[in-house]
Amino acid sequence: MRPTLNVVRSEDRESSDENNNMVADYNKKALNFIKEVTSKADEIQKQVLSEILTQNANIEYLQRHGLDGCTDRETFKKMIPVVDYENIKPDIDRIANGNTSPILCYEPISEFFTSSATSGGECKLIPMTEDAIQKTLLFFSLLMPVMDQFIPGLDKGKGIKFSFIRKETKTPGGLVARPATISILKSQNLITDRTYDPYANYMTSPKEVILCPDWYQSMYTQLLCGLCHNKQVLHVGATFASGIVYAIKFLKKHWFLLCNDIRKGELDPKITDPSVRETVMKILKPNPILANLVESQCAKGSWEGIIIKLWPNTKYISTIVTGTMSHYSGVLDYYSNCLPLVSPIYVSSDCHFALSLNPLLKPNDISYTFIPTMGYFEFLPVNREDTNFISEPRVSLTNNERLYRYRIGDILLVTGFTNKTPQFSYMCRKNVVLSIDADKTDEVEIQNAVENAANNLLQFDATLTEYTSYADMSSIPGHYVLYWEIDLRGQIPIHPSVIDNCCIVVEESLNSVYKTLRVVDKSIGPLEIKVVESGTFDKLMDYVLSKGASASQYKTPRCVKHASIIKLLNSNAVSNHFSPTCPKWVSYS
Ligand code: AMP
């Protein structure tokens, strides 16, 4: 029988003295569950697939492909094609337009998750069911027990999790479409009354604050509530690392008002949402000592270690900091005085896949372990021409009760096993490449090259806070352009030749095809870095969000193509720099 994780009902709890035992019991059950499912991965995967296919035997999609009630792996792989979003979009559109017949799933579709990935400029819509949401909640209930093995006592304090909410939309057929993060937050709020979860109240912000659709009011009061609980906070986080960086930027701008509120115990009149005001006023009390602490730290203008200074008991930072987020680890180290960076999960709107079971590893060493009950996973070898990896990366396909052989689009590298379940590190998304000629530069390579070059800024006490890239074909030969936003913390001016030199370091870090085309064939021109004004990447985010992307799942695009985005970035450029020479490259041809 497939292992299940039974949570303890709150009514089972007799007295608070029993609480410690119940926490230990809760953690033990979760860890046993992980051990059991990872030890029987193959068996469980077989069962998961068989259950999905049995329950959905009569749905239109599987019938259309002639699966005919078969539930074995071989027939499934033979009959069902590997698909991208575009292939199933017509079916998804039918559901979104109100067709309630069992097209992809026998269970009614209850809502859509909106993915940060887009299709034709619009967010992808991922159909969800009540059962799938419950499964996701179960996935999240494993997180804190895993952490508790490394940092015990987390149930005794609180955590800040910066969240970014947007208004939900409805499809023409009336189904709610919202980011997974919002749906999960709302669902978590729904179950806390029914289920014993020692970490249920771990967030410093009440739900009214997190779910407030007005960005400014929500972020302001999330910070305010976090500050009011400053001694109880044991961890600070956001789903993606960019969320913490955004929150600190917000603090830099608004600390003065926050201090006023804390000093007087009064909420700034700009916070107008009645339910937010009512809830925050229950937390906010006049506290001049705390106000002085916040003021003394923020007024210095140095943000080094600000997290640990304002929340002195913080033990770790919890946020996804792998993949395109790895670039933020430097700035998070700076803000936290190098607290452990815990990148706990690998998830997507399509499926919540995997956990980091050794969460205190450095971001570069993190491997995630699949939770085999979350879906039926397949891994396809990646076409070697698509990548520059020496080892054998795989691209993952997922199958759950709504998507069949659906290509996630991420490239993963299997690094080992937890019991009998694959562990992997996240490499990149499959199709993000810069290309001028025959060169194909992927996200990881750009990231590494930029990191190498940005090291040159450290001597000026400056850091690269954001970047993106663009293949500029408007001139012949075309060339790579990097847009850099630099934080000049030390106020030491950077001579233009330093950035010119960064261009060369980037080029020298790129692959051999690039260098051959650049040095020998000369079909690629000198790489250009355009330094943009501080705040440009905030404008880019605002722009992307105004087009319908989800704020909580927003990730700075590391490669841009749209003319409107290029225009925005160019109009904020303050200087531009080209490689003064060719990169060093020895050609053997
Ligand atoms: P979304 O569809 O908006 O939920 O975004 C899901 C995508 O975020 C995944 O397909 C990955 O590309 C990225 N992602 C999620 N978790 C991680 C992680 N731990 N490390 C790197 N990238 C991640």
**pLDDT tens by residue, 229-261:** 999 999 999 988 878 988 998 999 999 999 999
Mapped onto helix, strand or coil, the DSSP state of residue 80 is coil
Cβ neighbors of 426 (< 8 A, separation 6 or more) are 322, 323, 346, 368, 410, 412
**Protein residues with CB under 6 Å of any ligand 1 atom:** 115-117, 180, 320, 322-323, 343, 346-349, 408, 410, 426, 429, 553
Which atom of ligand 1 has the smallest separation from the CA of 555? Answer: 8
pTM above 0.75, yes or no: yes
| Burial tier of 365 (Cβ tally within 10 Å: 0-12, 13-18, 19+) | exposed
Read off the pLDDT band of 10 (50, 70, 90): very low
Residue 318: beta bridge partners?
237, 342
Spatial distance between the Cα atoms of 285 and 337, rounded to a whole number of angstroms: 29
Residue-level pLDDT at 452: 94
Residue 112: beta bridge partners?
127, 177
Which atom of ligand 1 has the smallest separation from the CA of 429? Answer: 12
**pLDDT tens by residue, 352-362:** 999 999 999 99
Q: 348 CA distance to ligand 1 centroid (A)?
A: 5
Residue 587 scores a pLDDT above 60: no
| Inter-residue contact 560 to 547 (CB < 8 Å) | no
Residue-level pLDDT at 11: 44
What is the signed CA dihedral for 174, 177, 178, 184, rounded to 10 degrees?
Answer: 80
| Inter-residue contact 97 to 89 (CB < 8 Å) | no
| Inter-residue contact 370 to 41 (CB < 8 Å) | yes
Which atom of ligand 1 has the smallest separation from the CA of 354? Answer: 19
Read off the pLDDT band of 412 (50, 70, 90): confident
Residue-level pLDDT at 194: 44
Residue 66 scores a pLDDT above 60: yes
Q: 311 CA distance to ligand 1 centroid (A)?
A: 28
118-127, 179-188, 496-505: the lowest-pLDDT one: 118-127
More confident residue, 356 or 188: 356
DSSP code of residue 569: H
Nearest CA residue ID for atom 10, ligand 1: 348
Nearest CA residue ID for atom 23, ligand 1: 346
Nearest CA residue ID for atom 5, ligand 1: 348
Which tokens is 284 given?
Answer: 């906010």
Give the mutation target among 348, 444, 447 for probing the ligand 1 site: most ligand atoms within 8 A of CB. 348
Percent of the chain with pLDDT over 70: 88
Element of type H or E holding 441 = strand 441-442
Residue-level pLDDT at 1: 58
Cβ neighbors of 232 (< 8 A, separation 6 or more) are 157, 158, 204, 313
Nearest CA residue ID for atom 2, ligand 1: 115
Residue-level pLDDT at 442: 77
Cβ neighbors of 137 (< 8 A, separation 6 or more) are 184, 187, 188, 191
Which atom of ligand 1 has the smallest separation from the CA of 325? Answer: 21
**pLDDT tens by residue, 195-204:** 567 776 778 9
Residue-level pLDDT at 419: 94
Q: 346 CA distance to ligand 1 centroid (A)?
A: 6
Residue 513 scores a pLDDT above 80: no
DSSP of 147-179, one letter per residue?
A: HHTTS--GGGSEEEEE------EE-TTS-EEE-
155-169, 251-265, 295-309, 461-475: the lowest-pLDDT one: 155-169
Spatial distance between the Cα atoms of 392 and 4, rounded to a whole number of angstroms: 33
Spatial distance between the Cα atoms of 364 and 503, rounded to a whole number of angstroms: 24
Spatial distance between the Cα atoms of 519 and 407, rounded to a whole number of angstroms: 37
Q: What value does the mean pLDDT take over residues 90-94?
A: 96
Q: What value does the mean pLDDT take over residues 265-293?
A: 97
Residue-level pLDDT at 165: 74
Residue 93 scores a pLDDT above 90: yes
| Inter-residue contact 112 to 125 (CB < 8 Å) | yes
Query: Which of 225, 230, 193 has its CA nearest to residue 208?
Result: 225
Mean pLDDT of the chain: 86
Q: 367 CA distance to ligand 1 centroid (A)?
A: 14
- Measured CA distances, 535 to 470, 484, 543, 544, 557 (Å): 19, 11, 13, 14, 16
**pLDDT tens by residue, 30-58:** 999 999 999 999 999 999 999 999 999 99
Nearest CA residue ID for atom 7, ligand 1: 348
Which atom of ligand 1 has the smallest separation from the CA of 409? Answer: 10
**pLDDT tens by residue, 350-402:** 889 999 999 999 988 999 999 999 999 888 877 644 443 434 455 556 667 68
Nearest CA residue ID for atom 18, ligand 1: 346
Nearest CA residue ID for atom 3, ligand 1: 116
Which range in 165-179, 280-294, 457-471 is most confidently predicted, on average pLDDT? 280-294
Which tokens is 282 given?
Answer: 């229950």
More confident residue, 60 or 559: 60
Give the mutation target among 410, 430, 431, 550 for probing the ligand 1 site: most ligand atoms within 8 A of CB. 410
Contacts by 578-582 with C-beta closer than 8 Å and gap 24+? 578/500, 578/503, 578/526, 578/527, 578/528, 579/500, 579/503, 579/504, 579/507, 579/526, 579/527, 579/528, 580/500, 580/501, 580/503, 580/504, 580/526, 581/504, 582/507, 582/518, 582/519, 582/526
Q: 347 CA distance to ligand 1 centroid (A)?
A: 6
Q: What value does the mean pLDDT take over residues 55-77?
A: 92
Cβ neighbors of 418 (< 8 A, separation 6 or more) are 38, 357, 369
Give the mutation target among 122, 426, 554, 558 for probing the ligand 1 site: most ligand atoms within 8 A of CB. 426
Residue type, 266: E
Which tokens is 347 given?
Answer: 């998830």
Spatial distance between the Cα atoms of 236 and 220, rounded to a whole number of angstroms: 16
Q: What value does the mean pLDDT take over residues 459-482?
A: 89
Percent of the chain with pLDDT over 90: 54
Spatial distance between the Cα atoms of 125 and 349, rounded to a whole number of angstroms: 9
Residue-level pLDDT at 104: 94
Q: What is the layout of strands, in order, in the sheet containing 368-370?
A: 345-347, 352-355, 368-370, 421-429, 406-418, 394-399, 376-381
Give the mutation target among 347, 443, 559 for probing the ligand 1 site: most ligand atoms within 8 A of CB. 347
